Amino acid sequence: MNIEMIDAAAARLNGIARRTPLLYAPALDAIAGRRVLVKPECLQQTGSFKFRGAYSALSAMDAETRARGILAYSSGNHAQGVARAAQIFDCPAVILMPADAPRAKIEGTRSYGAEVITYDRASESREAIGARLAKERGLTLVRPYDEPQVIAGQGTTGLEIAEQAAKMDITRAEVLVCCGGGGLTAGIALACAARAPGLRVRPVEPEGYDDTARSLQSGTREGNATEAGGLCDAILTPQPGEITFPINARLCGPGIVVSEEEALRAMAMAFRHLKVVAEPGGAVALAAALFHGQEIENEVAVCTVSGGNVDVATFARALEYA
Amino acid sequence: MNIEMIDAAAARLNGIARRTPLLYAPALDAIAGRRVLVKPECLQQTGSFKFRGAYSALSAMDAETRARGILAYSSGNHAQGVARAAQIFDCPAVILMPADAPRAKIEGTRSYGAEVITYDRASESREAIGARLAKERGLTLVRPYDEPQVIAGQGTTGLEIAEQAAKMDITRAEVLVCCGGGGLTAGIALACAARAPGLRVRPVEPEGYDDTARSLQSGTREGNATEAGGLCDAILTPQPGEITFPINARLCGPGIVVSEEEALRAMAMAFRHLKVVAEPGGAVALAAALFHGQEIENEVAVCTVSGGNVDVATFARALEYA
């Protein structure tokens, strides 16, 4: 992994992925006690940053492989990103999704023309189903984070942050990144290290799924007790990635862990003051900026809002805090 | 009013107003039966396009006048725009707001440091209160739409639409604009006429407050039966402006009128497919694109989402359609 791969992904994504703005509001600065800038990747195509990595991976494949079809496992955001990228390339996409994934994400994935196959998390193995399908149909698996071209695609978010911060004369900041398997975190960290070395990445996770925070502390990849059931479905992974973790261990500051209630409160603040829709897993970085200020070392916090694919019932819960 | 005034406003707003993106989603295109592009001015500073006009007006004043203080009447979006612009210039702002304005808008206006004075729409005259205050304190009134520098500021939205459409190789489109007094409509119409003459503006209003649609039809300024009580508080005005109407009569196509329920449904679609928060009055143009396709003549519809300052209870009503 290197910055040239991220630059190459940016060139492929140019005019296809959206360049999201950096938003801010005086009310958020007042709550946080520092300047807060928000990178709303919920406004990205398919409602999350995952489109960047998915399109990067598909555009880097040879055309013949791609034309045979793509396979992905995902609870929803990677699913939609891959489905939309496959739709653009007019190639088949099969997505394995847990039957209990948010309805908005399953419907969203189908709306981009992908074949969605649901499985029961408790009794079925997605790897076994996937391996059978890949063999039968000649599909190529696109991993959600442990895949260099996917990390390169997510890293384009970091290139934009580096450029946008420089334009605002910001040379030092902590960049808070919503962290599941660590692909977005690693991509942004690589881009910032090369282009804006005063911007330090801090991974943010929800309580109970703080594998990256604990792994950064211990220096080895630690797992979570469980992978399912949390509100922050987008960023619940069994453990840090094999490729992503060494990058994050080298480049990131300590992890920050927020509660589910703090994530809901951050969703409410994003609704009220930024007018963007965040999903719980996409709001943890903003929650860290707003409610964990004592753990942040810089006067400026840049927060990713990594996705906005949330069901109405969950969003209504967040609105109770608005 | 001319394009040079809009270019000059754009120069003053550069680096201060946000350049909002043009968003789109395949699901919206499918509902509308044509390509739909959305200009989300809800992401603008203060949550609506009104900041552009307010900052344009204040930045065009001489410094001494501005320092004595600014006065505005508004149910909320112009109020917040003026309050924030005054905050940037560090000058006093007094805003007269109806006591029944949305709570989010009154609190938002106060949060930018303005003095908010509420009045009872039924029994008190805001003009009388305003005239007294202006005299006592030497304040200068910034009108919400019948003011050339305000129209010039709103017109910068149109400059951006013209540039962004050109970049997407779109040379012909209808531009649907949420219309109250007609300032945003006139500003965008002037900008498009000069820079993208294949883009034709269509004002969009809610049922019962379709003064501009009726006036365009009759050729003279018609009034509404009532100014208060509708869900689309941001765009309820007694009649088209004296300055704005002749511009709109010369440059716009026929008005489109949508129901309040269609505005709520459009808010739900903006939540689900674009991840932006629209207020009812800010969603009428998207409602026209989605539900009044038979009245639109072009294959591409560009819609403004003019604001997102909505109370939780109203947003919850919209979510029932998501």
Whole-number pLDDT of residue A121? 81
Tell me which amino acid residue A79 is: A
Q: pLDDT per residue over B78-100, tens digit each? A: 999 999 999 999 999 999 998 98
Q: What is the CA radius of gyration of chain B?
A: 18
3-state SS assignment for residue B247: helix
A42 in contact with chain B, both atoms CB, cutoff 8 A? yes
DSSP B177-231: EE-SSSHHHHHHHHHHHHH-TTEEEEEEEETT--HHHHHHHHSS-PPPS-SSS-S
Q: Chain A residues with CB inside 8 Å of B277's CB?
A: 271, 275-277
The answer to whether domain B51-141 has CATH 3.40.50.1100 is: yes
Nearest CB neighbour to B111, from listed A26, A274, A309: A26
CA distance B82 to A54: 43
B264 in contact with chain A, both atoms CB, cutoff 8 A? no
Contact check, Cβ <8 Å, B275/A319: no
Q: Chain A residues with CB inside 8 Å of B106's CB?
A: none
**Domain residue limits, chain B:** 3-49+147-319, 51-141
- Residue to mutate among B29, B275, B305, with most A CBs inside 10 A, is B275
CB of A200 within 8 A of CB of A316?
no
A110 in contact with chain B, both atoms CB, cutoff 8 A? no
DSSP A108-170: HHHHTTPEEEEE-TTT--HHHHHHHHHHHHT-EE--SSSSHHHHHHHHHHHHHHHHHHHHTT-
CB of B36 within 8 A of CB of B28?
yes
Nearest CB neighbour to A319, from listed B40, B87, B316: B316
Nearest CB neighbour to A275, from listed B19, B111, B308: B308
Structure-block tokens of residue B295: 């009245």
Q: In the predicted model, is pLDDT for residue B115 greater than 90?
A: yes
Nearest CB neighbour to B43, from listed A104, A275, A319: A275
Q: Chain B residues with CB inside 8 Å of A27's CB?
A: 111
Q: Chain B residues with CB inside 8 Å of A104's CB?
A: 272
Q: For every one of its 322 residues, what pLDDT tens digit does chain A have, with 9 covering 90 and above?
A: 899 999 999 999 999 999 999 999 999 999 999 999 999 999 999 999 999 999 999 999 999 999 999 999 888 899 999 999 999 999 999 999 989 888 888 988 999 999 999 999 888 888 888 889 889 999 999 999 999 999 999 999 999 999 999 999 999 999 999 999 999 999 999 999 999 999 999 999 999 999 999 999 999 999 998 767 789 888 888 899 999 999 999 999 999 999 999 999 999 999 999 999 999 999 999 999 999 999 999 999 999 999 999 999 999 999 999 9
ipTM for the assembly: 0.95
CB of A300 within 8 A of CB of A274?
no
- Residue of chain B whose Cα is closest to the Cα of A15: B168
Q: pLDDT per residue over B235-245, tens digit each? A: 888 899 999 99
> Under CATH, to which class is A3-49+147-319 assigned?
alpha beta
Closest-CA distance, A148 to chain B, in angstroms, reads 28
A99 in contact with chain B, both atoms CB, cutoff 8 A? no
Tell me if domain B3-49+147-319 and domain B51-141 are identical in fold.
yes
- Residue of chain A whose Cα is closest to the Cα of B317: A316
